[in-house]
Amino acid sequence: MGKLTHFNQEGRAKMVDVSNKADTERVAVARGEIRMKPETLALVKDKALAKGDVLAVSQVAAVMGAKKTAEIIPMCHPLFLSGIDVSFTIDEEQSKIDIEARVKTTGKTGVEMEALTAVSIAALTIYDMCKAAEKDMVIGNIYLQSKSGGKSGSYNRP
């Protein structure tokens, strides 16, 4: 594990200077889930909640969240994102919705935080839209699945 780079010589937080890094194509994929009662999952699947199509709204929220990552994570660089794709898989057997976000840019720093933010915002939006039906939903298992590009190269979760 390398040296942490978000601290200056005084031990205070700083945003890393990436000005000398080369622009490369960078892609990150993050995943997560939200668990709920089968009855709530059925409402989502049937688009039967009063607030509307839960997954459509959550997809838009995830895209918006990824684009705003630098505004809510203090040391993240503002990035030009060239692509954001969010997908959902309904798992009736485990009564959950799996969320995957793929974020892409060409630049000096990676998009891992943007992908993780997209997944988190999607899950929070699902919770918000379903909370009238259920408050016991559990958001979790949010992680980086893979990333490519940059000096550190590729990473694929084992």
Per-residue HEC secondary structure of 89-143 comes to EEECCCCEEEEEEEEEEEECCCCHHHHHHHHHHHHHHHHHHHCCCCCCCEEEEEE
Q: What whole-number distance in Å separates Cα of residue 106 and Cα of residue 149?
A: 9
Model-wide pTM > 0.85:
yes
Whether the CB-CB separation of 102 and 29 falls below 8 Å is answered with yes
| Average pLDDT over every residue of 99-115 | 97
| Average pLDDT over every residue of 21-36 | 96
The model's confidence at residue 137, banded by pLDDT at 50, 70 and 90, is: very high
Q: How far is CA 46 from the centre of its chain?
A: 25
| Average pLDDT over every residue of 71-90 | 96
The pLDDT of residue 11? 82
* DSSP 8-state assignment for residue 158: -
The single residue of 17, 23, 128, 136 carrying the catalytic annotation is 128
Give the dihedral sign, CA 135/141/147/153: positive
| Average pLDDT over every residue of 144-154 | 93
Fold for the domain defined by 27-149? Alpha-Beta Plaits (3.30.70)
Task: For 31-49, write each residue's pLDDT tens digit.
Answer: 999 999 999 999 999 999 9
Active site residue 128: yes
**Least confident piece of the model among 15-24, 25-34, 111-120:** 15-24
Whole-number percent of the chain with pLDDT over 90:
82
Mean pLDDT over all residues of the chain? 94
Q: Where are the domains of the chain?
A: 27-149
